[in-house]
Amino acid sequence: MEFFRIKKDIPFMRHALIFNAISALTFVAAVFFLITRPLHLSVEFTGGTSMELKYPNAANQEKIRAELIKLGYEQPEVTSFGTAQDVLLRLPVVKSVKGSDGSKLVFEALCRAEGGLPKQVVQTDDKGTKVSTNSCFNAANVEVLSQRKVDFVGPQVGEELAHNGLSALIMVVVFVMIYLAIRFEWKYAVSAIVANLHDVVIILGFFAFFQWEFSLAVLAGVLAVLGYSVNESVVIFDRIRENFRKQRKASVHEVIDNAITSTISRTIITHGCTQMMVLSMLFFGGSTLHYFAIALTIGICFGIYSSVFVAAAIAMWLGVKREDLIKPVKEKDETDGAVV
């Protein structure tokens, strides 16, 4: 399926050096930001408390944030999710507050700020199970605040999650490289991995520069971008291999330019549909999916760029040739079949 077909090949490889210089500068800038402005890790990695609260009306986030700062939380994260009445709190570890007591102190403080008193309410869910929830009632016995969910992650658990996340990233890179080396050739494996790491580092650079929260959801987005970018590189490499078979007299530059040009329509369809879904998550998915969608958006854009101007160009500079993908056919011995 094609939206359009370009009859004349676009000379991408003629400008590969310029675009790769831009890529190198972007990569260096991302590394610089990662060194000077470390990632703003979520409580899932650093340890802390996550709380879900429910207000009867739209929550005043600035008021909530001010109350948390009074309790000693220097950088509390207060965001809405789902509706303006639902609030998600992510609170870092505070030495003066034990993890098990933090949620209780926070809820009591927010309850007093609403002019109410905390009270435990026992309700029966759809399955007939009695569930105890923390609620806050004012003098007129009207509920002004309720606590839906509390999660506590200790610093040791957060450190383990960070280690496991890094291990997952390294394993993905290693197995992708092995897969490409088996399916194509080591030059293609090296070029694809360099392009993919280029995408990952740039995503992390954006998160470091803007100090966006880096959570497990964002890590999942980064891993998804790795797979997505590899898929685009594989499509182009497959077309290069096919062109080497068909275009026997074409140079390496011409083969690569034709491969990229002939897959542009497919790239627009695939990436365009994916980006529409990601943008819907970005604008309508709430705070829970916000940074996950941002990571995917950045990764998709740079994934297209890296597959064309990084992966293909590096493969070309590594000296890829027709013999790397297609084994030469051995000519038959002139004596074969001769009558003796």
47 versus 250: the higher-pLDDT residue is 250
Task: Point out the least confidently predicted range of 92-96, 254-258, 291-295.
Answer: 92-96
Q: Residue length, the chain?
A: 340
234 versus 325: the higher-pLDDT residue is 234
Mean pLDDT on 286-311: 85
Sheet holding 48-54, edge to edge: 77-81, 83-92, 48-54, 143-153, 130-137, 117-124
Render pLDDT for 108-161 as a digit per residue (tens, 0 to 9).
Answer: 999 999 999 988 887 666 666 666 788 999 988 899 999 888 888 766 666 777
Position 8 pLDDT exceeds 80: yes
Task: Point out the least confidently predicted range of 95-99, 174-178, 295-299.
Answer: 95-99
Mean pLDDT on 235-242: 86
Give the pLDDT confidence score for residue 340 in this predicted structure: 37
**Residue ranges, CATH 1.20.1640.10, the chain:** 12-41+156-323
Render pLDDT for 48-96 as a digit per residue (tens, 0 to 9).
Answer: 888 999 999 999 999 999 999 888 887 788 888 778 899 989 888 777 6
Nearest to 227 by CA among 283, 280, 274, 276: 274
Position 218 pLDDT exceeds 70: yes
CATH superfamily of 12-41+156-323: Multidrug efflux transporter AcrB transmembrane domain (1.20.1640.10)
What percentage of the chain reaches a pLDDT higher than 70? 88
What phi and psi, each to the nearest 5 degrees, are found at residue 8? Answer: -105, 130
Q: Where are the beta strands (DSSP E) in the chain?
A: 40-41, 48-54, 77-81, 83-92, 117-124, 130-137, 143-153, 213-214
C-alpha Rg value of the chain to the nearest Å: 28
Position 313 pLDDT exceeds 80: yes
pTM flag (> 0.85): no
Give the pLDDT confidence score for residue 335 in this predicted structure: 47
Q: Which residues contact 282 (CB under 8 A, 6 or more apart)?
A: 289, 290, 293, 294, 297
Nearest to 308 by CA among 13, 22, 30: 13
Give the pLDDT confidence score for residue 209 in this predicted structure: 95
| pLDDT-derived band at 210, boundaries 50, 70, 90 | very high
| Class of 48-153 in CATH | alpha beta
As given in the structure block, the two tokens for residue 306 are 């890296």
Rounded to whole angstroms, what are the CA distances from 68 to 54, 73, 85, 97, 177?
16, 6, 18, 12, 47
Give the pLDDT confidence score for residue 123 in this predicted structure: 67
Neighbours of 114 (CB within 10 A): 19
Give the pLDDT confidence score for residue 32 in this predicted structure: 95
Pairwise CA distance, residues 287 & 281, whole Å: 10
Residue whose token pair is 């890529």: 23
C-beta of residue 327 within 8 angstroms of C-beta of residue 241: no
**How far apart are the two ends of the chain, measured CA to CA in Å?**
57
C-beta of residue 205 within 8 angstroms of C-beta of residue 35: no
**Residue ranges, CATH 3.30.70, the chain:** 48-153
Position 244 pLDDT exceeds 60: yes
C-beta of residue 136 within 8 angstroms of C-beta of residue 116: yes
What percentage of the chain reaches a pLDDT higher than 90? 19
187 versus 280: the higher-pLDDT residue is 280
